[in-house]
Amino acid sequence: MDLSLSETELAFRDEARAWLAANVPAEPLPSMDTAEGFVAHQEWEARLAEARWSVVSWPREVGGREASLVEWVLFEEEYHRAGAPGRVSQNGIFLLAPILFDHGTPEQQQRFLPSMATGERIWAQAWSEPEAGSDLASLTSSARRDEDRGGWLLNGQKTWSSRAAFAHWGFGLFRSDVAAERHRGLTYLLFPLDAPGVTVRPIAQLDGEAGFAEIFLEDVFVPDADVLGAPGDGWRVAMSTAGNERGLSLRSPGRFCAAADRLVELYRNRSGFETGARAPSSTTGGDHHRDRVVDAWIAAQAYRLYTWGTVTRLAAGGDVGAAGSVNKVFWSELDIALHETALDLLGPEAEVESAWLDGYTFSLSGPIYAGTNEIQRNIVAERILGLPKEPRGAAR
């Protein structure tokens, strides 16, 4: 693993750092899970896109800079270090776009990617169902062929659909062949959330905001032009998305390194501790809290180095593969540890402090979304360690 940067990469990082320093809002935007905050985040996406920072690794003709993977990681580090707003377009940019590039038609790429880059069209992830969450292959929402109109009729219910409360389009899997095996006969479809037959019902989170929603579909017509990949090949297409979500693209190390730096700063502020001093104030919990802060910072740095190792492997022609499951378990547990330590440092003040408290409530969902950590541990056990498969119906 070579961590040295070229002159071009250093110039790219410096340009990103300068732009972010001049443009990141001085005050946090309202939550993107509110109507007001959703619009504010769309405006931020448009501002990023105007300067071509919204999708740095994409081709120039669809809004990108054709940045290398190394430059993408550098941008992510600078983005989070600058405290820039969360990305309301992340479902589209990080989950759907890689699949559109690999499996989409040229017409689909031209129709969907530019509006994704500018934040004009926000996408909701519509995979989970009431009886099919991490066990995605058991989904029952259907896509029935409509030969007369040249398309498909969608029926069923999706749930825990991120951003669906305010988003414009959804992407998900539907069973198009009920006689096929679990992983076969599935089709990947794109559909507008304001189409006739679609009902979106927001789900309130722990904080009362609608970060998720249920989507009910009743004879929703989707033309053939909005099938992603071949009909019946949806599982293979979707697994490409899952690999991105669990692996490198969804949770870049810059996010956790920035949080770890803020945690160190919080510890210093709470204790009045200066570099080189021998003993922190007892109000910070002494060695116990100090050790937890150090452990969280080391874990964030370890994740950063692991990611750079992944970047090196990908640059040499390798892939993420099942190692994405290792990533997913690690970052989801690291996120909780970072925020729990911060709340313990704050003590009773944590009840009214918003940034760390909001981060903590969100971190609790980490072990569940993007495939539960139990599922990821099974993948690590079976595909990386070569251990026996878990018996079906085994009690935990």
pLDDT confidence bin for 10, thresholds 50/70/90:
very high
Show me where the domains of the chain are located: 7-87, 123-237, 247-384
Which is more confidently placed, 9 or 3?
9
DSSP assignment of 170-201, as one string? EEEEEES-TTS-TTSSEEEEEEETTSTTEEEE
Say what the pLDDT of residue 370 is.
76
Q: Which of 107, 245, 274, 353 is catalytic?
A: 245
Cα radius of gyration rounded to whole Å, the chain = 22
Say what the pLDDT of residue 149 is.
95
pLDDT confidence bin for 128, thresholds 50/70/90:
confident
What percentage of the chain exceeds 70 in pLDDT?
Answer: 90
pLDDT tens readout for residues 240-279: 665 555 555 556 788 899 999 999 999 998 876 655 555 5
Say what the pLDDT of residue 246 is.
52
Of 38-47, 63-72, 340-349, 358-367, least confident by mean pLDDT is 358-367
Of 179-183, 189-193, 227-231, 373-377, least confident by mean pLDDT is 179-183
Give the pLDDT mean for 105-115: 97
CATH number of 7-87: 1.10.540.10
Highest CATH level, class, for 247-384: mainly alpha
Domain 123-237 has CATH 3.30.470.20: no
The residue type of 44 is: W
Say what the pLDDT of residue 310 is.
82
DSSP assignment of 309-348, as one string? HHHHHHHTT---TTHHHHHHHHHHHHHHHHHHHHHHHHGG
Of 14-18, 114-118, 178-182, 340-344, least confident by mean pLDDT is 178-182
Say what the pLDDT of residue 243 is.
56
pLDDT tens readout for residues 129-176: 887 766 677 788 999 999 999 999 999 999 989 899 999 999 999 999
Whether the Cβ atoms of residue 167 and residue 193 lie closer than 8 Å to each other:
yes
List CB contacts of 74: < 8 A, sequence separation 6 or more.
5, 9, 12, 13, 16
d(CA 42, CA 36): 10
Total number of residues shown for the chain? 396
Say what the pLDDT of residue 178 is.
80
Whether the Cβ atoms of residue 329 and residue 377 lie closer than 8 Å to each other:
yes
- Cα 358 off chain centre by: 17
Say what the pLDDT of residue 396 is.
44
Find the distance separating the first CA and the last CA of the chain, reported in whole Å: 39
Say what the pLDDT of residue 133 is.
63
d(CA 234, CA 180): 13
Report how far apart, in Å, the C-alpha atoms of 142 and of each of 188, 219, 290 are: 11, 10, 53
Rounded (10°) CA dihedral 260, 264, 265, 269: 150
Say what the pLDDT of residue 395 is.
44
Say what the pLDDT of residue 284 is.
56
List CB contacts of 217: < 8 A, sequence separation 6 or more.
141, 154, 155, 156, 157, 158, 191, 197, 198
Identify whether 265 is a catalytic site residue.
no
List CB contacts of 7: < 8 A, sequence separation 6 or more.
none
What is the maximal distance between C-alpha atoms in the chain?
79
- pLDDT > 80? residue 18: yes
Q: What mean pLDDT is reported for the chain?
A: 88
**Residue that has been written with the tokens 């017509």 in this structure:** 221
